[in-house]
Chain A
Amino acid sequence: MGSLVLCHRKRAKHPYEISRIHKRIYTIEELCYYLCNNLYLIDYTIMNEQLCHWLDSELELNRLAENLLELIKNHGSVEKFVMTVLEDARIYTQGELAHIQNVLEKLKNQKEVERQKFKADTLMESGELESAILVYMSIVNGERDDSVDKRFYGRVYACLAGAYGRAFLYEEAARMYEKAYRICEDNRMLEGYLYACYRYLPVDEYQKMITQSDVFLDVDNKLAEKIAKVKSEISFEPSQRLWEEWKKEYRRG
């Protein structure tokens, strides 16, 4: 059975504008949604007195506003600020709150490039491929941070390749997988590389390419098995509902 969560009654007459995403919010539920889905964006631009006054005057959440103002006054952390809002809204289960807290803790100890990657990963998960690609590119093309694990950039290239692949840009995907493999030497990346090549190269060129290396042949065999297995498991006749969803998604795009 579907689960429901009762919303707060109050809706702001005057919305609060979140400058980082240029969106206005009217309810505590919308604020929580923004916070939870943009944990990588949380910084001192959201932890401000203006937001506290808005919660107080527009949503009549006086106690929450007071606690947040106190937190700001005492130079409390952004993570504590976010958790105070989420706990007070009482939308989330204890398990969900614990998960969010873990993510915040992880982000807190991360370097800027790692936070950027988390942002891109989140965008990928929500299907916003173009935005994700742009963020991944900004990491690999930006100033290098040598303090992170050297395989970090390899993983970013692999994620970028994955994003290209999901956008059917296989040639770009292959190039990125190649870069990822050169750094990480991880066979899963090689598999991705060969799959992307298989999709964009003419058959004869692909065959010629894999015969050049025993490792390629080996990975290709495994890949073929995987493709066959996936094909046997999926239905090629999508339901009417799925068609409609795809159409909507396409139009939205």
Chain B
Amino acid sequence: MSHGSIIGYDINSKLCQISYYSEDSQEPETLEIGVDNYQIPLALAYYKDIWTYGKNAQRMATVRGCVLVEDIWNSALKKERLQIEGNEFEAVHLLAEFIHQTLLTFKKIESITFTVPDMSEDIRYLLKGIGQKLGIPKEAIYVQDYKESFCHYMFNQPKELWQYEAALFYCDEDVIRAFMLRELKTGYRKGKERFVTVDKVAEAQMEELESVYPVLNVDKAKAADEHFKCFIQSVFDKKLVSSVFLTGDGFENSWYPNSLRVLCNGRRAFMGNNLYSKGACYTAHRRMEEDQVDAPIYLDSTKMTEQICLKMRIRGEEGWYPLVAWGSHWYEADKQCEVLMEDTSDVEIHVESLVTGKLRVETVSFSGLPERKNYALRIRIRTMFTDERTCHILFEDIGFGEFFPSTGFSVEKVIELGGSNGQFSSLS
């Protein structure tokens, strides 16, 4: 059976979950492993030179001579080598094998977004590398954390659910975390863009959760409910919250009737365990579209608060085209596009800062480039970051098919930026 080609892949140290963009419903759907079962245990079993994954791997573990490998995620991040049946395997390769097997039902992957609990440079590098090994083009692979997935999930829900702030509660066997999606106030007033972020606003280790998860102890559940209710009240303190989302295995037993009343008071509440993979799937879909939809821009401390634009005619309309867009990671902002030049006069580059609200204008001279009429001068523009503060923009004459060969002309402009360090925290 073949599914869509746009994938959201939620992966953590224990489980993975896959959502794909359905051509029929034009919405993400989550891959069902069994009846009402959408989560795949991150495990591989090795038996007679054959690898099996997920639940089957766990079942296989009972077979004599079969080896179950479970902590693949952490081993891969530590770049460990594992000894299995006298053979040595790199944990990274095992993780790649697991991801490969879970994606076998997808014949062609056009865009994939991995979502992980917490992002790091190592995780991004690891998952991008695995994606490429599976034959997916580098630019079609994106890695984001759960907060960004929550954000993209919300962008695709009815507006009334995130008109004000939206809350996300996560609960597992011993911890509850609260996250809040909110709009950022920036100094930028030129366009109609809106900027949002997701903050972790509270976290509580709750011993009482032991009594409700995994098996509900009715008598002791009251204490957990009371504790959770207080936790919610402290999170919602004077905030306008449009909607609430509950996720994580900890919410599976209905141990929180009183808390639920507080949660649903004047707002809508939802529960589910596929929010992250669906959010990632929305990201993968959005990244494929040429026209960026009119959704808010997600920012966090790792993302750029400056934008580099060039004025150009875009599908018949004059506008500012972002060579480097707000909310990009500098290490993923290398990009290229091709333009036709009407003439060879200087070109203006705008560098806009969200933090200061100011606009800096840089110019690029094309003197030395021969004039060519009738839109027959094609220039390739490439952006390359050498570090978070330095963006190189290269303009190259690439010729115009068999009509005009390239003149070999090229010019480079270096744009100095403020970097992301500390910039985001100055936005409120």
Contact A33:B346 (CB < 8 A) given known A7-B339, A248-B370: no
**Residue among A6, A26, A126 having the largest count of chain B Cβ atoms under 10 Å:** A6
Say yes or no: B343 contacts A3, CB within 8 Å. Answer: yes
Name which of B130-138, B166-174, B298-306, B371-379 contacts chain A: B371-379
Say yes or no: A33 contacts B400, CB within 8 Å. Answer: yes
Residue in A4, A36, A90, A245 whose beta carbon sits within 8 Å of that of B374 in the complex: A36
- Where chain A touches its partner, the secondary structure class is mixed
Contact A1:B375 (CB < 8 A) given known A25-B401, A30-B401: no
Tell me if A95 is interfacial: C-beta within 8 Å of chain B: no
Say yes or no: B347 contacts A6, CB within 8 Å. Answer: no
Say yes or no: B341 contacts A3, CB within 8 Å. Answer: yes
Tell me if B46 is interfacial: C-beta within 8 Å of chain A: no
Say yes or no: A24 contacts B402, CB within 8 Å. Answer: yes
- Which residues from B are CB-within-8-Å of A27? 401
Say yes or no: B311 contacts A91, CB within 8 Å. Answer: no
A91–B376 CA distance with the chains assembled, in angstroms: 11
Within 107-149 of B, Cβ neighbours of A (below 8 Å) are at none
Q: Which residue of A lies closest to B366 (CB)?
A: A2
Say yes or no: B340 contacts A7, CB within 8 Å. Answer: yes
Contact A9:B340 (CB < 8 A) given known A1-B345, A33-B403: no
Say yes or no: B340 contacts A4, CB within 8 Å. Answer: yes
Tell me if A23 is interfacial: C-beta within 8 Å of chain B: yes
- Which residues from A are CB-within-8-Å of B346? 1-2
A25–B339 CA distance with the chains assembled, in angstroms: 17
- Which residues from B are CB-within-8-Å of A32? 375
Question: What distance in Å separates the Cβ of B182 from its nearest Cβ neighbour in chain A?
Answer: 34
Q: Which residue of A lies closest to B404 (CB)?
A: A33
A32–B337 CA distance with the chains assembled, in angstroms: 19
Q: How large is the interface on B (under 10, 10 to 19, 20 to 34, 35 or more residues)?
A: 20 to 34
Tell me if B290 is interfacial: C-beta within 8 Å of chain A: yes
Say yes or no: B375 contacts A33, CB within 8 Å. Answer: yes
A1–B403 CA distance with the chains assembled, in angstroms: 26
Say yes or no: B337 contacts A5, CB within 8 Å. Answer: no
A92–B170 CA distance with the chains assembled, in angstroms: 53
Residue in B315, B344, B401 whose beta carbon sits within 8 Å of that of A90 in the complex: B315
Say yes or no: A26 contacts B375, CB within 8 Å. Answer: no
Question: What distance in Å separates the Cβ of A11 from its nearest Cβ neighbour in chain B?
Answer: 9
Contact with B along A5-47 (1 / 0, CB 8 A): 1110100000000000001111101101110110000000000
Contact A5:B375 (CB < 8 A) given known A90-B315, A91-B340, A248-B370: yes
A7–B341 CA distance with the chains assembled, in angstroms: 10
A94–B373 CA distance with the chains assembled, in angstroms: 18
Say yes or no: B337 contacts A7, CB within 8 Å. Answer: yes
Question: What distance in Å separates the Cβ of A83 from its nearest Cβ neighbour in chain B?
Answer: 14
A9–B315 CA distance with the chains assembled, in angstroms: 12
Within 76-93 of A, Cβ neighbours of B (below 8 Å) are at 90-93
Contact A245:B370 (CB < 8 A) given known A4-B339, A7-B339: yes
Residue in A2, A4, A30, A90 whose beta carbon sits within 8 Å of that of B400 in the complex: A30
Say yes or no: B313 contacts A5, CB within 8 Å. Answer: yes
Question: What distance in Å separates the Cβ of A226 from its nearest Cβ neighbour in chain B?
Answer: 28
A3–B310 CA distance with the chains assembled, in angstroms: 10
- Which residues from B are CB-within-8-Å of A126? 373
Q: Which residue of B lies closest to A94 (CB)?
A: B316
Say yes or no: A2 contacts B374, CB within 8 Å. Answer: no
Say yes or no: A29 contacts B316, CB within 8 Å. Answer: no
Say yes or no: A7 contacts B310, CB within 8 Å. Answer: no
Say yes or no: B403 contacts A23, CB within 8 Å. Answer: yes
Q: Which residue of A lies closest to B345 (CB)?
A: A2
Say yes or no: B400 contacts A6, CB within 8 Å. Answer: no
Say yes or no: B347 contacts A4, CB within 8 Å. Answer: yes
- Which residues from B are CB-within-8-Å of A92? 375
Q: Which residue of B lies closest to A7 (CB)?
A: B338
Within 215-246 of A, Cβ neighbours of B (below 8 Å) are at 241, 245
Tell me if B321 is interfacial: C-beta within 8 Å of chain A: yes
Question: What distance in Å separates the Cβ of A68 from its nearest Cβ neighbour in chain B?
Answer: 19
Question: What distance in Å separates the Cβ of B349 from its nearest Cβ neighbour in chain A?
Answer: 11
A27–B337 CA distance with the chains assembled, in angstroms: 14
Question: What distance in Å separates the Cβ of B24 from its nearest Cβ neighbour in chain A?
Answer: 19
Contact A2:B313 (CB < 8 A) given known A25-B401, A245-B370: no
Say yes or no: B311 contacts A1, CB within 8 Å. Answer: yes
A29–B344 CA distance with the chains assembled, in angstroms: 18
Contact A5:B340 (CB < 8 A) given known A24-B401, A33-B374, A33-B403: yes
Residue in B290, B342, B368, B402 whose beta carbon sits within 8 Å of that of A4 in the complex: B342
Chain B positions within 8 Å of A, measured between CB atoms, are 290, 310-316, 321, 337-348, 366, 368, 370, 373-376, 378-379, 400-403
Question: Can you sample 26 A-B contacts with CB below 8 Å?
Answer: A1-B345, A2-B342, A2-B343, A2-B344, A2-B347, A2-B366, A3-B343, A4-B311, A4-B312, A4-B313, A4-B339, A4-B340, A4-B347, A4-B379, A5-B339, A5-B375, A6-B315, A6-B321, A6-B338, A6-B339, A9-B337, A23-B402, A24-B401, A33-B376, A90-B316, A245-B370
Chain A positions within 8 Å of B, measured between CB atoms, are 1-7, 9, 23-27, 29-30, 32-34, 36-37, 90-93, 126, 241, 245, 248
Supply 6 further A-B pairs (C-beta < 8 A) apart from A5-B375, A37-B374: A1-B311, A3-B343, A6-B321, A7-B339, A7-B378, A34-B403
Closest 6 CB pairs of A and B: A90-B316, A4-B312, A7-B338, A3-B342, A4-B339, A2-B345
